[in-house]
Amino acid sequence: MTTTNRYLAVAATAVLGGLPAIAGATNGYFAHGYGARSKALAGASTARLLDSFAAAVNPASSAYLGDRLDAEIELFSPRRQYTVDGEPTLAPGAFPLNSGTVRSDSEWFPVPAIGWNHRIDAEQAVGVTMYGNGGMNTDYVATPNPLCPFPGGSGTFCAGTTGVDLAQAFIVPSYAHSFNNGRFSFGIAPIFAIQRFKARGLNAFAPFSSDPAHVSDQGYDYSFGGGVRVGGLVEVLPGVRFGASYKSRITMSKFNEYAGLFTEQGSFDIPESFNFGLAWDINKDITTSFDVEHIRYSQVDSVGNAMFPNLLTTRLGDNGAAGFGWEDMTIFKLGAEWRPNKRWTWRAGVSYGAQPIPKSEVLFNVLAPGVQEYHLTTGFSRAIGDKDEVNFAFMYSPSNSVKGPNPLSPKQNIELEMDQYSFQLGWSKKFE
């Protein structure tokens, strides 16, 4: 590791220390919202004026938010497991999994976030926010596995405790400008990203790799990169706003310690996404919002490439090698907010997006079972005086699963399953 990369790794450890393992998938490995207000609305916030986490969805909203600070902590609980049934194929070249249900350990994770916004004048504002994504985290303990081709083998893939741990942190400064007496605004937010990754128990795939020494069990490695988000917000009618934003692909440096696992010698970029939203102030007390988000997972080879036939035709780590086979996601989000008085605001929401894992891709996705589709949310804000506010959000994602054949033992089926809970508590401070 070079001196520069060593310093970057130290900095990344400090930033990601607050994100010890963003452990489950919500919409793939994107969060369903950013900030307690947005999450309580199931993420339907592209056209809303909520808080300084706006830069994570639509930086154009920042033009209207004034001077404020928002700090939050989420307690996130994904419950992941896989189940194998059917007769194992024991012929040469086959790789059956041990029958039964295996549940991932580590089910509670704290996830902090912080945002700040400052109005320069009546039309301009700047801000900065830090938040995280995750969704590729599993931890299957090394239980005995009688199907291993050698005595004493244990774990999912006969190489001990098995799983991956991916955490992503984003530091996002933003600038927003409003026009036409505030009826339209535009915002831009450069994105600085840090990723931390570790894989364990995958050495059974080393014979399929161009770099067998860098497939698994290399400890944490770090990746750095950047992109940009741009957005606009317009009042199309009194009380009706339309918002849209685009986040570019975030180009990341390579995971050198896992150059034999991911395509292009360790490449793991973050996919581009699009957000569109409509908000309607039905009256002075009630606002509804509807969003559509599209995430292009298939455009990042390490995530989107199919496992088969790529595993048999291209070595892991090479260009065009096997990935997780994720498809693009389109998520629909509906939220409502009720303000019965000056102190209380109540929120609720629901979102749906077809999960990204095809039935043919279940084997690799034992490591990343991002199968969630529905998210049911609620929450509130409670003003404390004129400047301070406490915010709360709760999310429940019902159990969902995908089941398909084990391509290396065709008579077996693998079912991936997960459900989730999230509790988020925040504090907001206004300075004007």
Angle at 62 between CA 296 and CA 236, to 5 degrees: 80
309: cis peptide before it, omega within 30°?
yes
Look-up of token digits 């909520």: 50
Contact 301, 51 (CB under 8 A): no
pLDDT of 136: 63
Q: How far apart are CA 189 and CA 194, in angstroms?
A: 16
> How is domain 3-430 classified at the architecture level of CATH?
Beta Barrel (2.40)
- Please tell me the predicted confidence (pLDDT) of residue 11: 40
Q: 29: Cβ–Cβ under 8 A, 6 or more apart, which residues? A: 133, 134, 135, 136, 166, 168, 368, 370
DSSP letter string, 271-297: --EEEEEEEEE-SSSEEEEEEEEEE-G
- DSSP lists the bridge partners of residue 235 as 241
- Position 268 scores a pLDDT of 96
Return d(Cα 125, Cα 66) in angstroms, integer.
8
Q: Among residues 28, 67, 30, 71, which one has the least CA distance to residue 365? A: 28
Q: What is the pLDDT along the chain (432 residues), one digit of tens a residue?
A: 554 445 444 444 444 444 444 434 589 889 999 999 999 999 999 999 999 998 899 999 999 999 999 999 999 999 999 999 999 988 887 889 999 999 998 888 888 899 999 999 999 999 999 998 765 689 999 988 998 888 888 999 999 999 999 989 999 999 999 999 999 999 999 999 999 999 999 999 999 999 999 999 999 999 999 999 999 999 999 999 999 999 999 999 999 999 999 999 999 999 999 999 999 999 999 999 999 999 999 999 999 999 988 988 999 999 999 999 999 999 999 999 999 999 999 999 999 999 999 999 999 999 999 999 999 999 999 999 999 999 999 999 999 999 999 999 989 999 999 999 999 999 999 997
Q: Where are the alpha helices (DSSP H) in 227-360?
A: 263-266, 301-304, 310-313
Rounded Cα gap, residues 165 and 174, in angstroms: 29
- Nearest Cα neighbor of 97 from 105, 106, 107, 87 is 87
CB-neighbour burial class of residue 288 (10 A; exposed 0-12, middle 13-18, buried 19+) = middle
How far apart CA 391 and CA 383 sit, in angstroms, is 9
